[in-house]
Structure 1
Amino acid sequence: MTAPQRVLVAHQPAYLPWPGYFSRLLDVHELVLLDHVQFSERRWQHRNRVRSSGDGPPVRLTVPVRRRFGQTIRDVQVADEPWAVRHWRTLQHAYGRAPYWAAHRDELAALYARRWRRLAEVDEAFTRFLLDALGLPVRLVRSSELAPAGRSTAMLADLCARTGARTLRVGTGALAYLDTGLLADHGIGVQISTYTHPAYGAGHRGWAPGLSVLDLLLMEGPAAAEVLRAGARTETRVAARGAAR
């Protein structure tokens, strides 16, 4: 029996990522966190959205950072502000009556009680918590430890070589820059991952598309991974070697 080809999922670290981030990881055992790439301010690397405590729109949670142009994600320092206290209070108000709040409250409280220095550490720790709570046995690897060469598609091809992957799985946003011909030249296939939000949390107000996967976890508990599977789709893209770039 032929062993399945190894699939690389590589993504920038994110704070409390949305369900689509995790839907790519349902059948893989490793996520490469692209912490060596440039930090983009006011993006998902340090912010995300959670449910409102009432009928209002979703609430945005942002980890404040020290700004320095051109810095990599791994070098971004968390600003010395009581952001964790504010985030924790927001979550308490929004989810204190959620069905599975009590099951995860203590571990979340411990994360928000820690003193954080770097954004990448925050993102990795919360992603680790969410993966474990969702029952996804995925190992986290920092790209800075792998030291890939090149940029953009060439960098992803090098990461595939370093991790032994023959398939690269990306989201639809990667189609704007991904050079599938270059990947084909390296013998690397491409999978496009999409996610459509299934309805969940019946009877609870405030749901909206694009909330953090934390919302799904606290509303659905052990069934959250099945909701992810219901909304996940993967399409294989084939590109000829030497295709025009």
Structure 2
Amino acid sequence: MILLQPTYFSPIIQYVAISKSDTICFEVEDNFQKQTYRNRCYIYTADGKHLLNVPIQRDKGIKQKTKDVKIDYKDDWNKLHLKTLITAYNSSPFFEFYIDDLLPVFDKKHTFLLDLNLLCHQLIMDALQLEITTTKTNEFLKETSLKDYRNLAVAKGAPQYSLDRYIQVFEQNHGFIPNLSILDLLFMEGPNVLNYLESQNFIL
């Protein structure tokens, strides 16, 4: 069993860990932290590495548990994210194959960030045709005997994981960019994604 943070269209390294596991436990009792993949992901656009950020409602100086964080829709970020994904990936080999299945993320206004992230995870698991038992924590696990991969949710200053190259839409412009959102790999590799994930060496 591995311990993970539920994140927004997680980075590839998180699904490498998932592909090598039989049970996932999601940490939902921790305090929300900025600069993490909890509410962001990175994709590849014509301009290079591009941030998609889910805005949240926050009260200054007040800690919130991740499971209590609410999404802010005043700027219609969901419509912007979908438009950006279409622009970036509409020429990728498997974009049309998967995009309709991912639309519930952008069509419905989810109140809580946790619900959005768990939906993203489930849709990706469905796309990978991967069935793994999933549970959630009942209390914050400061110490645990589980394989603790919660640090894979850290975005700022995260280590450069050694992942095999695959063809990317704009690679000729900016080179290969590793560990983007799982969406980048999905749209480019399609049914081969699971083989790719399982073939990666994973050492923390």
Structure 2-normalised TM-score? 0.85
Aligned partners of 2:148, 2:10: CA distance in 1, in Å?
15
| Aligned counterpart, 1:243 | none
| Aligned counterpart, 2:148 | 170
**Deviation at 1:107?**
1.1
- Conservation of the 8 A alpha-carbon contact between 1:24 and 1:169: no
- Conservation of the 8 A alpha-carbon contact between 1:39 and 1:73: yes
1:124 aligns with 2:118: yes
Percent identity of the aligned residues?
21
Aligned partners of 2:42, 2:88: CA distance in 1, in Å?
11
**Deviation at 1:136?**
1.9
- Aligned positions of 1:141-152 closer than 5 A: 141-143=135-137, 147-148=138-139, 151-152=141-142
**Deviation at 1:33?**
1.1
Give 5+ residue unaligned stretches, structure 1.
1-7, 158-167, 175-193, 236-245
1:197 aligns with 2:166: no
| Aligned counterpart, 1:58 | 49
| Aligned counterpart, 1:213 | 182
Aligned partners of 2:35, 2:169: CA distance in 1, in Å?
32
- Conservation of the 8 A alpha-carbon contact between 1:195 and 1:231: no
**Deviation at 1:204?**
4.8
Residue 232 of structure 1 aligns to a residue whose secondary structure is coil
- Aligned positions of 1:64-213 closer than 5 A: 64-68=55-59, 69-81=62-74, 82-143=76-137, 147-148=138-139, 151-153=141-143, 156-157=144-145, 168-171=146-149, 173=151, 196-201=162-167, 204-205=170-171, 207-213=176-182
- Conservation of the 8 A alpha-carbon contact between 1:13 and 1:45: yes
Aligned partners of 2:149, 2:104: CA distance in 1, in Å?
32
Give 5+ residue unaligned stretches, structure 2.
153-159
For the pair shown, the structure with the greater C-alpha radius of gyration is 1
- Conservation of the 8 A alpha-carbon contact between 2:40 and 2:52: yes
Q: Select the structure with the greater relative contact order (CA < 8 A; seq sep ≥ 6).
A: 2
Could you report, residue by residue, the CA deviation over 1:74-131 in whole angstroms, capped at 9, with x for unpaired residues?
A: 0000012201000000000000011000111111123210111000001000011112
Aligned partners of 2:104, 2:123: CA distance in 1, in Å?
11
Aligned partners of 2:13, 2:125: CA distance in 1, in Å?
13
1:217/1:9 CA distance change after superposition, 3 Å: same
What is the total number of aligned residue pairs between the two structures?
Answer: 191
| Aligned counterpart, 2:15 | 22
